[in-house]
Each structure stands twice: as C-alpha cells, then as structure tokens.
Amino acid sequence: MNYLNKFLKVLSEPVDGILLTKRENRRYAAGFDIAEGMALITKKVCYYYTDSRYLEAAQTNLEGFEVHQVTASDTYCNHISRAVTSLGLKTLAFEENDWTVGTYTRFQEQLPVTWMPFQKVIEGFREQKEEAEIAIMRKAQAITDAAFSQVISVIHPGMTEKELMAQLISCLYQNGADGLSFAPIVVSGPNTSLPHGVPGDRKLQAGDFVTMDFGCIVDGYCSDMTRTVALEYATEEMERVYYTVLKAQKAAIAQSRAGMTGQQIDAIARNIIKEAGYGEYFGHSYGHSLGLEIHENPNCSPSNKVPIPVGAVCSAEPGIYLPGKYGVRIEDVVIFRENNVENITKSPKELCILSS
C-alpha cells in the first residue's frame, strides 16, 4: 500500500521533484518502512537512497523506486546531485520542518537547485485517511481495547505505577501489537493531575484515580486511548469531575462532523467543562489527529480555524486536572464523516470502580 501517485500528481512548474527525508512521509510514499534513507520523486523516475543495513529490504519491498546504496564516500548529496544533473532538475520541494539548518546549508551548497518549502503539501496527503489506512487503525484500536479489558483485572492497591505500566505493555503485545504508539502514561492519585505524568514508584492506594493513556502500532499505524478508573471507591467530588469530563466528551463526539473547524469542536467540550466551574483546569486541546504518527494534523484545538476534512482520524480527549489532588481524562478515537463521526474505541466509559 503506497501513495506515490499523490506525490506525482503535484509535480508541475516550478517543482521538478520532491525530496522526502522524514521517515513517515517516505513510508507513506513508498509503502514500506525504511529506518534511514531519502526518496527523490520525479516524473521520469523515482529514487530511494539508503545504506547497506537496509538495502536488501528496500530492494525487495519498494515498488516504483530505483534503489541505490549510499556509502561514506558516495553520499546522499552525491546521489541526488547525479539525479539532478541527468534529469535536468531545477527546483526541488523539501520538508523544511524536518531539516536542520546544517542539512539545509549543506544541501544548498552542494546541489545546484532551487529549494522550495513543501511541508504543508506533503503532510496534507496524510490528513485524510484512505479506507485501507482506516482498516489498519481499527485493528490497532481493537488491540488497545483488548489490552484495557485485560489490564483492569490485575490492577490492585500496592502495585506501583511502573508495575502497572509493565502489565499494560505486556497486554498490548499479547493482543498483537507490533510496537507502542508512545511510552504509556500510567499515573495514580495526585499524579493524575499531571496530563503527561511519568510512571514512577508510587504505590496505588484505595481512593485513587488511576489514569492510563496508551496505544499501539499495527502495520505502522497508531492507536490511542485514555481511561481513568477509581480504586475501591470514589468521592462525590471525584464522581462530579469524572462525569463532567464524560459529558463534555460525549457532547463533542455527538455534534462533531467533517466541515466543522477544530476550534468549533474544541469549544463544545470546553464550554461544558467551563460551565461546570472547571474551565481553568482544562489546559490542553480537545484532540489531535493520528496515523503514521501519534500526533498529526489536523487538530481539534482552539487555534485551528480550518475545517476538518472527511476521513480525518482524531482523538477526543477532554480532561480536568486539579493540581495536587487528581485529574481525569477520557480519550477515544473517531473518524470524521460527512454528517457525524464514527467512534472506533469500544471500551466502556462509565466510571469504573475497581475492588480487590
């Protein structure tokens, strides 16, 4: 499954070729993941450059590309320079957000072409997911759901956050994950007020909220989910905070559809949390897109005034975080359709109180 044709279609004056350096964009164009390399896309021929560690895999799995080996003496610049000369290329598009100043300076000095920033176009291909991509993301999300169902049976007071994280990771792999979308966030008690807290040696206690934010990779594509559960009991205030977050999430999911801006969608959840008196405790955005990366565009954030396209896959994750006390976040993943969104996260969301 490669999407090389999308890149070929945008080649026109004044862009003669596109140089891909970012790993996820190379994978998207070539249909196979090569850890290190560069891809040069032109109308006449497409080249993929990599070193000896990945050469055989590239030659076997990359369709539509001529594969060439780079070495210490025959560098990426050398290969690209030969292609520029033989094809008469004048202007190359590049991923400006992926380049350091050093890379840009070196390529500008050694290659006789005009460089055109093209990140927005290149990244834009991935904003609307094809159904084949969505099918993979459903599998990844199903594994995430299965892992959650499995891990809640082992949570108990006395285990540490690190121990719970290890159990969660094990459950993801047991259910078929190829890898992790990111290092899981597993926090408890007062640590749940930290949206991106790091699992530590704190032992879970009765009366704790426990927040688990995690996801897996399947065939290169990410899943994402957050659930907050309570141990043994929850106070009245804890329940009020939890159900405020749940109400905000459900309302935003119910009203979301393609064509709405990220700002509009974020406001639905944010206003509910604000009306409940917790507005200052919801500091992050309502959601982000995901796919080959765990954070992609477009985002459902207060700053995004651009309509969300059909086929975008985004998280829905409002939260409330009371410093020094606790926090709650609930996260699902949804697909934007014309008239609604499809929620592909199936784990229950009513407050789960675990008893030993």
Sign of the torsion formed by the C-alpha atoms of 164, 165, 168 and 174: negative
Could you tell me if 278 and 151 lie in one domain?
A: yes
| pLDDT in the model for residue 356 | 76
Q: What is the number of domains present in the chain?
A: 2
Residue that terminates a domain, selected from 106, 124, 142: 124
Could you tell me if 137 and 99 lie in one domain?
A: no
Could you tell me if 174 and 214 lie in one domain?
A: yes
Could you tell me if 261 and 348 lie in one domain?
A: yes
| pLDDT in the model for residue 2 | 85
Domain that holds residue 85: 4-124
Could you tell me if 175 and 60 lie in one domain?
A: no
Could you tell me if 247 and 343 lie in one domain?
A: yes
Sheet holding 185-188, edge to edge: 185-188, 209-214, 225-231, 353-354
Could you tell me if 325 and 275 lie in one domain?
A: yes
Could you tell me if 281 and 194 lie in one domain?
A: yes
Contacts 24+ apart (CB under 8 A), 37-44: 38/76, 38/80, 39/65, 40/80, 40/83, 40/92, 41/4, 41/7, 41/8, 41/11, 41/17, 42/11, 42/16, 42/17, 42/18, 42/83, 42/87, 42/89, 43/8, 43/11, 43/16, 44/87
Residues in the chain, pLDDT under 70: none
Angle at which helices 76-87 and 101-110 cross, to 10°: 40
Could you tell me if 21 and 71 lie in one domain?
A: yes
Could you tell me if 119 and 245 lie in one domain?
A: no
Could you tell me if 103 and 247 lie in one domain?
A: no
Residue that terminates a domain, selected from 67, 94, 124: 124
Residue that terminates a domain, selected from 105, 124, 143: 124
> Residue 247 has which token pair?
């109400």
Q: What is the pLDDT of residues 108-135, one digit of tens each?
A: 999 999 999 999 999 999 999 999 999 9
Could you tell me if 282 and 205 lie in one domain?
A: yes
Contact at 8 Å (CB) between 270 and 279?
A: yes
Q: 118: domain CATH number? A: 3.40.350.10
Q: 292: domain CATH number? A: 3.90.230.10
